Amino acid sequence: MLRLVRERALRLAHPHVLTPYASCMAYEDVLLAMDLVRGGSLETLLGDYGRLPPEYAAEVLDQLLAALSHIHAAGVVHRDVKPANLLLEPSPVGAPHVRLADFGIALEDEGMRFTTTGFTVGTPGYLAPEVLDWNRPGPRQDLYAAGMVAWRMLTGAGDPEPRQQVGAPPPGVPPTLWRVIAHLCAPDPAHRPNDADAARRSLSACHRELRFPVRTLDGEPLQIFDHLGPPPR
């Protein structure tokens, strides 16, 4: 209950962030009102297409880093960045539009913790090594998770293992882009970018523009469909 109420308080207006704009009590429940995002999640997209083209993955990563830059500037650490929490607007022919969702376990710099002391919260493969070693979460934990999201997009693999090794770049992935991913996923947080903006600057140096229609590595048109359809009358 406290997590849900706090999610309302953490509303942050940004094109790539999805948080509630209203809430109300209903007996022992909390009802949250949020924008309806109709294109499924990045997890769904990866399940449909597997590996994503490098330029497309770089665009998704850039939008994710923009969202992280915004919430980190507000003193908030998301702590559960993963493909299932990256929602997509429908885009049958154009560029993706990513919305970072689910702030239920977010932590503010000076805020109250809503998890029991001594328990690590998050999704194992996306948790930075320092968090697995019981250190306090910080913004660089989210950068690590963003790097692992990109690793999944570019490799087509399933969820990473805890302390996943990045390895060599897959075929067709530019080495400059892969270096950005490896930098984000550095085991030592001191070796990661200073912040999300620094990571975006590194990414921009190797980010090629998308050409439409975007096609998968197998030549199939890459489209984000409306998963919900028209609302009931």
Go through the domains of the chain in sequence order and give each one's CATH number. 37-204 (1.10.510.10)
Kindly list the catalytic residues: 80
CA gap 18, 184 in Å, rounded:
23
Helix axes 139-155, 196-204, angle to 10 degrees: 30
* Residue 189 and residue 138 in contact, taking contact as beta carbons nearer than 8 Å: yes
At residue 62, the pLDDT reads 97
* Residue 214 and residue 208 in contact, taking contact as beta carbons nearer than 8 Å: no
Burial of 110 (0-12, 13-18, 19+ CB in 10 A): exposed
* Residue 42 and residue 60 in contact, taking contact as beta carbons nearer than 8 Å: yes
Q: Which of 161, 24, 29, 11 is nearest to 101 (CA)?
A: 11
CA 19 to each of CA 14, 74, 111, 128, 137: distance values in angstroms, whole numbers, following the listed order: 9, 14, 18, 24, 21
Pairing of strands 76-77, 29-33: unpaired
At residue 93, the pLDDT reads 81
**pLDDT tens across 208-217, in order?**
788 888 999 8
Assigned token pair, 182:
């490896």
The alpha carbon dihedral of 122, 158, 209, 174 has a sign of positive
Q: Which of 84, 156, 159 is nearest to 125 (CA)?
A: 159
Q: Which of 103, 93, 84, 88 is nearest to 149 (CA)?
A: 84
CA gap 30, 21 in Å, rounded:
13
**pLDDT tens across 37-59, in order?**
999 999 999 999 999 999 999 99
**pLDDT tens across 86-131, in order?**
999 999 888 899 999 987 766 666 554 444 444 456 789 999 999 8
At residue 210, the pLDDT reads 83
pLDDT, average across residues 21-30: 80
Q: Which residue has the higher pLDDT, 6 or 82?
A: 82
pLDDT > 60? residue 8: no
Helix axes 42-49, 139-155, angle to 10 degrees: 20
